[in-house]
A and B are shown apart, each in its own frame.
Chain A
Amino acid sequence: MNTLAHTSQSLRGRLLALLGSAFLLLALGLYFGTRTIAENAADLTQDHTLAASLNAVAEQLSVVNGEITVDLPYAALALLGASGDDRVFYRVSREPGGELTGYDDLPHGDTQAPNQPVFRTEQYRGDAVRISTTHRQVFGQVGVSRVTLSIAQSRDSRTDIINGVSRNAAALGLAFLLCAMALAWLASGNALSPLRKLSLALRERQPHDTSSLQLTVPNDIAPVVQALNGFLHRLRTNLTNTETLIADAAHRVRTPLTAVKAQAQLALQHSENNAQRERLRDLLRAVDQTARSTNQILDHAMVTFRADGFTLGERFERSDLCALVTKTLNELHYTADSRDIAFVTALPALPLWLHIDPILVTEAIRNVVDNAIKYSAPESTIDIELSATSTMASLLVADRGCGIALDEQERVQERFVRGSNAGEVVGSGLGLTIVQHVMTTHAGTVQFAPRSGGGTEVTLQFPIERQP
């Protein structure tokens, strides 16, 4: 049975991925937004300064002796040059009349009206520069002249400012992202903690524990817990019903069988009629066969039920294998004695403690020894040896019976399969199946070997678990 669940990405991972993507978008928005605002602000500042300088220069325009002159106010230009390494260019030209002063290759902007400076950005002498241009009408010797003034400033300091602001914005965005992710981590952990509590509670349960889950959970996952508890309740009821059924079946079947057997035995002993006794003897054997088969079937049901995963763990306890063997031999003593079969035992003097289900193991031992008795000749002996190494406890049961053919040693462990030489010995073919089942449940083995001189050696081996 595959008990592994198919898993996909964890809930927390999903939440974090989703929130992380949203936070990253927000952080990027914050960065680019701040950068755009900084660019606009820097442009505005530069334009204001340029306009003020332009105005200051224009104020200095005068007409001397009919000639238009401009007296450059160096303070105004110094204001522009003061910010960092920025370079400043200017050009004053008139129309008509040509250049007045400055760099005559600095392009003028197209001005529409006096006192309304225009701005544009151009490449000039290898640098990006911001050029502001205005014009004035001046009355001179030749009438009205149009004087066009341009001042340009390189954009280095603006770029510096924008980069500085961008760096800060990036740092801020990153800090925001980290804080937000940390909060998301904490919040998702907190929100998912009831689920974790639930899975922990399930993981720590003993496999046989069918009691209801006692957990306070948020109402979102209450249906899950309710469904689980409902399932556990049904399982518990089923197990109890099965147990009651097996116990009831045992009682209801065994009691009438006992009655039939006892009555038949009694009738046989009280009958003086030979023909009648013959029939009674046949009847008694048939009853005995039925009784044994029924017994084995009920025992098999019991073993299967107990060895089932759901009920197994709770039945295991520290048990003395030596005492179990002794008890079982005592139980079978009369059966053996009625055929004058003697047990020759070699048991350790000290208890041999194993972590096992004592009832299942008793059942296995009983079946092995019972088989040995059934298939042994009268007045023979059965050797029973119990020994242990540090890792393995071995129970050897050796009889002088008819043996099991080599090629049948696997098959006789199957249900309802009996050795071909079983003859008229009554049996159900379930005994070794029970033994095999019990040994598998205990991670042990059952082995058959022919005994030298005739008979069978059955060895049950139990692993001894190291105590931590």
Chain B
Amino acid sequence: MRFLLVEDSPDIGKAVSTRMTDQGHAVDWVTTLADADAVLASSAVDLIVLDIMLPDGDGRDFLARHRARADATPVLVITARSQVSDRVSVLDLGADDYLTKPFDLDELDARCRALIRRSSGAPQDDFTAKNLHYEPQSSRLQIAGETRALRNRENRLLEVFFRSKGRVLSKALLLDRLFSLDADVSENTIEVYVGRLRQHLDGSGVRIETVRGAGYRLSDH
């Protein structure tokens, strides 16, 4: 997927674009509306992530122009939500979704995925191994044609395993990936979720191995 990120704060821009690159997307990061227009004029993107306050104008104007062009590319707006006065809602202006600062990178991921799923309709990023088919974006796990429902946390954990297939992942690392902000989660919680995933993966030929003293590893051997 190719993303256009319009964000003038260098720290946010760097963090978000790194995160998107980590997720396997190509990112065009620009800091002005003029540059954003230039990118859109030369190439097509799959998703636009747009900050509202930019040095050369208001992101809402860009949004209005974008919609006037009848461009269907989904737009996720980042706002500082300060609705002291009644401003026109960004959703009314044609944003597909919006995120309020300060946001979680995980939430940004989740919302971007939802928008892409909605706009393209097709699974973008799926894994197949043995008789298993897994679409993390729609939380769908199919084993031998049978669909198994995954909870959100189970899905996120399984996706981490698939993206690092064959690598040993420590409990601490998994904890940070999934629950970095939840105070009530301990390494025992990881054991509980790994246990559930093993049940879901039962009969697929793919399994989560325990590496004594180091952590877990996804394997399809």
Mark A residues whose CB is within 8 Å of B.
243, 246-247, 249-251, 254-263, 265-266, 268-269, 274, 277, 280-281, 284-285, 288, 291, 295, 298, 302, 305-306, 315, 334-335, 337-340, 359, 377-379, 423-426
Rounded to whole angstroms, the CA-CA distance of A256 and B12 in the bound complex is 8
Q: Tell me if A423 and B183 are in contact (CB < 8 A).
A: yes
Rounded to whole angstroms, the CA-CA distance of A95 and B170 in the bound complex is 162
Shortest Cβ-Cβ A-B pairs, 6 listed: A259-B11, A262-B15, A250-B82, A424-B183, A258-B102, A254-B101
Rounded to whole angstroms, the CA-CA distance of A269 and B81 in the bound complex is 28
Query: Taking the complex as formed, is B69 at the interface, i.e. its CB lies under 8 A from any CB of chain A?
Result: no
A262: chain B residues at CB < 8 Å are 11-12, 15-16, 19, 105
Given the known interface contacts A262-B19, A337-B152, the answer about A255 and B12 at a Cβ–Cβ threshold of 8 Å is yes
B103: chain A residues at CB < 8 Å are 258, 261
- For window 75-123 of B, CB contacts with A under 8 Å fall at 78, 80-86, 100-107, 110-111
Q: List 5 A-B contacts (CB under 8 A).
A: A251-B82, A254-B101, A258-B12, A261-B103, A298-B82
Query: Taking the complex as formed, is B181 at the interface, i.e. its CB lies under 8 A from any CB of chain A?
Result: yes
Beyond contacts A247-B82, A268-B176: 16 other A-B pairs, Cβ-Cβ < 8 A, are A251-B53, A254-B81, A255-B80, A258-B12, A259-B12, A261-B104, A262-B11, A262-B105, A266-B18, A281-B176, A302-B84, A338-B152, A339-B152, A339-B153, A379-B151, A426-B181
Given the known interface contacts A254-B80, A284-B180, the answer about A335 and B107 at a Cβ–Cβ threshold of 8 Å is yes
Complex interface bits, B1-35 against A, C-beta within 8 A gives 1, otherwise 0: 00000000101101110110010000000000000
A250: chain B residues at CB < 8 Å are 80-82
- For window 167-186 of B, CB contacts with A under 8 Å fall at 170, 172-173, 176-177, 180-184
Of all chain A residues, which has the CB nearest B177? A269
B81: chain A residues at CB < 8 Å are 250, 254
Instruction: Tell which of A266, A306, A339 touches B19, judged by Cβ atoms closer than 8 Å.
Output: A266
**Min distance, Cβ B159 to any Cβ of chain A, angstroms:** 13
B184: chain A residues at CB < 8 Å are 377-378, 423-425
Given the known interface contacts A255-B9, A259-B9, A339-B182, the answer about A334 and B82 at a Cβ–Cβ threshold of 8 Å is no
Mark B residues whose CB is within 8 Å of A.
9, 11-12, 14-16, 18-19, 22, 53, 78, 80-86, 100-107, 110-111, 151-153, 170, 172-173, 176-177, 180-184
Q: Tell me if A260 and B180 are in contact (CB < 8 A).
A: no
**Min distance, Cβ A301 to any Cβ of chain B, angstroms:** 8
Q: Tell me if B86 and A315 are in contact (CB < 8 A).
A: yes
Of all chain A residues, which has the CB nearest B85? A243
Q: Tell me if B102 and A269 are in contact (CB < 8 A).
A: no
Q: Tell me if A277 and B53 are in contact (CB < 8 A).
A: no
Q: Tell me if A334 and B19 are in contact (CB < 8 A).
A: no
A359: chain B residues at CB < 8 Å are 83, 86
Q: Tell me if B102 and A281 are in contact (CB < 8 A).
A: no
Rounded to whole angstroms, the CA-CA distance of A274 and B110 in the bound complex is 27
| Most A-side CB within 10 Å, residue of B85, B172, B180 | B85
Rounded to whole angstroms, the CA-CA distance of A288 and B107 in the bound complex is 14
Q: Tell me if B11 and A340 are in contact (CB < 8 A).
A: no
Of all chain A residues, which has the CB nearest B18? A266
B181: chain A residues at CB < 8 Å are 284-285, 288, 426
A335: chain B residues at CB < 8 Å are 107
Instruction: Tell which of B15, B80, B151 touches A263, judged by Cβ atoms closer than 8 Å.
Output: B15
Q: Tell me if A266 and B152 are in contact (CB < 8 A).
A: no
Q: Tell me if B176 and A247 are in contact (CB < 8 A).
A: no
Rounded to whole angstroms, the CA-CA distance of A263 and B101 in the bound complex is 14
Rounded to whole angstroms, the CA-CA distance of A246 and B107 in the bound complex is 26
B85: chain A residues at CB < 8 Å are 243, 247
Instruction: Tell which of A257, A268, A423 touches B180, judged by Cβ atoms closer than 8 Å.
Output: A268
Rounded to whole angstroms, the CA-CA distance of A406 and B84 in the bound complex is 34
Rounded to whole angstroms, the CA-CA distance of A466 and B132 in the bound complex is 60
Q: Tell me if A255 and B84 are in contact (CB < 8 A).
A: no
Q: Tell me if B82 and A340 are in contact (CB < 8 A).
A: no
Of all chain B residues, which has the CB nearest A314? B86
Rounded to whole angstroms, the CA-CA distance of A247 and B87 in the bound complex is 11
**Min distance, Cβ B221 to any Cβ of chain A, angstroms:** 25
Q: Tell me if B183 and A265 are in contact (CB < 8 A).
A: no
Instruction: Tell which of B80, B102, B151 touches A291, judged by Cβ atoms closer than 8 Å.
Output: B102
Instruction: Tell which of B18, B53, B106 touches A338, judged by Cβ atoms closer than 8 Å.
Output: B106
Instruction: Tell which of A246, A265, A426 touches B104, judged by Cβ atoms closer than 8 Å.
Output: A265
Instruction: Tell which of B86, B102, B152 touches A254, judged by Cβ atoms closer than 8 Å.
Output: B102
| Most A-side CB within 10 Å, residue of B22, B82, B170, B183 | B82
Of all chain A residues, which has the CB nearest B114? A334
Given the known interface contacts A251-B53, A255-B101, the answer about A302 and B82 at a Cβ–Cβ threshold of 8 Å is yes
Given the known interface contacts A334-B107, A424-B184, the answer about A269 and B176 at a Cβ–Cβ threshold of 8 Å is yes
Q: Tell me if A334 and B105 are in contact (CB < 8 A).
A: no
Of all chain B residues, which has the CB nearest A426? B183
A281: chain B residues at CB < 8 Å are 176, 180
**Min distance, Cβ B158 to any Cβ of chain A, angstroms:** 14
Of all chain A residues, which has the CB nearest B12? A259
Q: Tell me if A251 and B80 are in contact (CB < 8 A).
A: yes
**Min distance, Cβ B216 to any Cβ of chain A, angstroms:** 16
Q: Tell me if B15 and A265 are in contact (CB < 8 A).
A: yes
Q: Tell me if B107 and A257 are in contact (CB < 8 A).
A: no
Rounded to whole angstroms, the CA-CA distance of A254 and B52 in the bound complex is 13
Given the known interface contacts A250-B81, A262-B19, the answer about A340 and B183 at a Cβ–Cβ threshold of 8 Å is no
